[in-house]
Structures are given as C-alpha cells and as structure tokens.
C-alpha cells in the first residue's frame, strides 16, 4: 500500500514539474510575456471607488488617475 502511495505521489510531482517547465506555462518563458492593453483613446474610465486602508484612511481610486492600479480582493470565510 505504501509503495502505491509513493508511486502516485511521484507521478503527481513529475506531472507538476513537466507542466511548470513547459513553454508558455508561466515557468521559464518570461521573455515572451506581453500585456494586451488597449490604446489610450480606446480605454474607458474606471467607476468611482473608495475603500478604507488598513489604517482606516479613506482611499479613492481617483487619487491614482493616470497610474496603473492593481486591485486584489479576497475573502476568508
């Protein structure tokens, strides 16, 4: 039983390594990564958004106009 478990774990690890090293999988092929951004005249303005930071200060998305902003939302529960 333990031998079967080791074989299965080994195959899973091998599959993970092959998948990670495959070109275009996000492994080592960073030089071919490009962003598909719209030209400035084709972009639309983001809707208004205001949230509190960890210190409780109100932060408006409009304060970052003209800059690239990455918003990450997550939940636990």
Q: Whole-angstrom Cα distance, residue 13 to residue 15?
A: 5
What average pLDDT score do residues 45-60 get? Answer: 90
Please report whether residue 56 resides in a domain. Answer: yes
Please report whether residue 70 resides in a domain. Answer: no
Tokens of 66: 């003209």
> The pTM is what?
0.41
Classified as helix, coil or strand, 11 is helix
Given pLDDT bands bounded at 50, 70 and 90, which one contains residue 60? very high
Q: Whole-angstrom Cα distance, residue 36 to residue 43?
A: 12
Is residue 25 pLDDT above 80, yes or no?
no
Domain hosting residue 43, numbered range: 2-64
Please report whether residue 38 resides in a domain. Answer: yes
At 36-51, the pLDDT tens digits run: 778 888 888 888 899 8
């Amino acid at each position: 039983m333990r031998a079967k478990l080791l074989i299965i774990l080994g195959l899973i690890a091998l599959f993970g390594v092959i998948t990670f090293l495959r070109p275009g999988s996000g492994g080592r092929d960073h030089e071919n990564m490009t962003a598909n951004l719209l030209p400035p005249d084709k972009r639309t303005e983001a809707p208004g958004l205001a949230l509190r930071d960890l210190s409780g200060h109100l932060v408006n998305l409009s304060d970052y106009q003209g800059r690239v902003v990455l918003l990450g939302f997550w939940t636990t529960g």
